[in-house]
């Protein structure tokens, strides 16, 4: 996963995150792995007692991508849909799928590559809804410094050591006619100051994080090239996923969570300034500015609906495309059937 990180506030963000407890009530949906559904406000019957859910994040610290979780808590949507939600964090970006697969969390925000590699290892997890719908990851340079495929050779490029970055970079190198031996890759905790101070030439990130960071710091936009336009598959970056054992035992709770998150996401994208304020109030010690949260969340919303205006809905095509692409660069030996990677069964009825 890619982030612009405020490294000095890791502990404060973790402590603040542990205070996030929310409540919400399961809907029902009989959709198959290729069914389409969109979030609604439809009433459901709440269980007598709310179900506790532990949700693990995709990154060691909180950021504005947790906005729907905050909104659902603040607006009582978890409570409405019969669940209590506790947000926890992995020790590092490479451990997010392991936290879910080992049962330390019930649900998680993961990258699609986390899911693909986990299924290849036969780990007990499955994607239950897209967080975003397209690939907005790319390579970034500071304002006024052009970046193109023919400028990459010899450059120092930052990565985060996560599965998504490791999977996407080879596509760009291939399109540029180079290999990793032609550049210097460095693993970093926080790319923004290194990029702006000239310590690295190119940062790997997503538009919602890097544009927000550069614009917040400089008032200008970074230069960038999108991987999806330069050899990489145009597939969702992030998904909500579940531990398969927990999902089998708590299907209504999973539906309740997705129903609450659907309502929260729709509201937050319709009201980005209010949503950014709500996130900032929930995490006052995060170190992020209102401007950064607003810019980043607004850009995130650009990628959250499909062509039909729906949130969450996954398709066979996105998973087959990702699997075949990863197999093509030697990251997977075989591509599983789409149903092994995802289910739309837990989406709210639309």
- Residue ranges per structural domain of the chain: 7-134+236-341, 137-229
Write the pLDDT tens digit of every residue in 116-164.
999 999 999 999 999 999 999 999 999 999 999 999 999 999 999 899 9
Q: Which two tokens stand for residue 300?
A: 């995130």
pLDDT score recorded for residue 13: 37
Q: Could you please state the CATH topology (level 3) that the domain comprising 137-229 is classified under.
A: D-Maltodextrin-Binding Protein; domain 2 (3.40.190)
| DSSP SS3 for 204 | strand
Half-sphere exposure of 125 (CA within 13 A, CB side): 34
Identical topology for domains 7-134+236-341 and 137-229: yes
Distance CA 336, CA 8 (A): 41
Helices (H) and strands (E) counted in the chain, each on its own, are 14, 11
- For the chain, give the mean pLDDT: 89
Superfamily holding 7-134+236-341: Periplasmic binding protein-like II (3.40.190.10)
- Whose tokens are 């947790």? That residue is 66
- pTM, entire model: 0.87
Write the pLDDT tens digit of every residue in 235-260.
999 999 999 999 999 999 999 999 99
pLDDT score recorded for residue 350: 63
R_g (Cα) of the chain, nearest Å = 19
Which residue ranges in the chain fall short of pLDDT 50?
A: 1-2, 4-44
pLDDT score recorded for residue 33: 40
pLDDT score recorded for residue 94: 86
């Amino acid at each position: 996963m890619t982030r612009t990180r405020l490294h000095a506030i890791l502990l404060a963000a973790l402590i603040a995150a542990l205070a996030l407890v929310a409540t919400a009530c399961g809907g029902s949906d009989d959709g198959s792995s290729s069914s389409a559904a969109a979030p609604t406000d439809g009433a459901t019957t709440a269980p007598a007692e709310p179900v506790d859910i532990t949700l693990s994040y995709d990154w060691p610290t909180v950021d504005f991508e947790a906005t729907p979780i905050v909104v659902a808590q603040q607006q009582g949507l978890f409570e409405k849909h019969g669940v209590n939600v506790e947000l926890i964090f992995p020790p590092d970006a490479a451990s997010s799928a392991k936290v879910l697969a080992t049962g330390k969390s019930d649900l998680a925000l993961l990258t699609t590559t986390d899911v693909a590699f986990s299924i290849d290892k036969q780990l007990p997890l499955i994607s239950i809804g897209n967080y975003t719908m397209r690939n907005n990851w790319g390579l970034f340079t500071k304002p006024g410094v052009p970046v193109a495929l023919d400028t990459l050779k010899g450059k120092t490029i930052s990565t985060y050591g996560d599965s998504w970055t490791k999977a996407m970079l080879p596509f760009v190198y291939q399109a540029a006619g180079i290999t990793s031996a032609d550049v210097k890759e460095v693993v970093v905790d926080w790319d923004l100051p290194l990029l702006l101070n000239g310590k690295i030439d190119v940062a790997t990130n997503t538009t919602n994080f890097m544009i927000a960071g550069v614009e917040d710091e400089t008032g200008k936009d970074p230069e960038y090239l999108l991987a999806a336009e330069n050899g990489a598959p145009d597939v969702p970056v992030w998904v909500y996923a579940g531990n398969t054992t927990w999902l089998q035992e708590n299907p209504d709770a999973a539906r309740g969570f997705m129903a609450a998150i659907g309502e929260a996401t729709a509201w937050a994208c319709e009201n980005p300034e209010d949503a950014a304020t709500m996130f900032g109030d929930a995490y006052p010690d995060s170190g992020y500015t209102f401007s950064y949260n607003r810019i980043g969340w607004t850009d995130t919303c650009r990628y959250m609906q499909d062509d039909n205006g729906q949130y969450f809905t996954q398709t066979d095509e996105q998973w087959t495309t990702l699997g075949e692409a990863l197999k093509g660069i030697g990251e997977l030996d075989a591509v599983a059937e789409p149903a092994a990677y995802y289910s739309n069964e837990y989406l709210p009825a639309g």
